[in-house]
Amino acid sequence: METNKIDHICIAVKNLDEARKVWEPVLGKTKPDDEYIDEPEKIKVARYWVGEVGFELMESTTPDGDVAKFIEKRGEGVMLISFNVDNTRESMAELKEKDYPFIGGARPFRDCEFSFIHPKKMNGVLTELIDYKWKEFEK
């Protein structure tokens, strides 16, 4: 498996509006570069580009969402690191052969798929593989 780049880093926050006030001055931004709600994942996201790497603030949209559970267990902070790959399913198959456990299967997002490697294998870090092509950066 070849990793193309760090795709994005996610910070779990209790209150997205308050977190934006803290992070935007540090990022040199006045608003997110991309905002969205992902209903299946139960998250509201503010994404900022730092070069070609996404920096995401994530708030849970429900008390039973994964972000809410993470914050309850560990507090606010870095929740996830994501690596960009050419093909999520092929990368999963290759890593499964090497005994990497995944949480569920490949999931859809926009025009790509992503998957999560279980943190127990990754030194406690929830790790995502995503095959998004980021046409936004094509010149």
Per-residue HEC secondary structure of the chain comes to CCEEEEEEEEEEECCHHHHHHHHHHHHCCCCCCEEEEECCCCEEEEEEEECCEEEEEEEECCCCCHHHHHHHHHCCEEEEEEEEECCHHHHHHHHHCCCCCEEEEEEEECCEEEEEECCCCCCCCEEEEECCCCHHHCC
Give me the pLDDT at residue 138, please: 61
pLDDT over threshold 80, residue 139: no
Average pLDDT over residues 7-35: 97
How many separate domains does the chain show?
1
The string of pLDDT tens digits covering residues 92-127 is: 999 999 999 999 999 988 889 999 999 999 999 999
Tokens at 68, concatenated: 């809410």
Domain hosting 63: range is 3-137
Give the confidence band of 136 by pLDDT, cuts at 50, 70, 90.
low
User: How wide is the angle at C-alpha 83 spanned by C-alphas 89 and 95, nearest 5°?
Assistant: 45
CATH of the domain at 120: 3.10.180.10
Give me the pLDDT at residue 110, please: 85
Q: 133 or 26: whose pLDDT is higher?
A: 26
Residues above pLDDT 90, as percent of the chain: 89
The string of pLDDT tens digits covering residues 38-88 is: 999 999 999 999 998 999 999 999 999 999 999 999 999 999 999 999 999
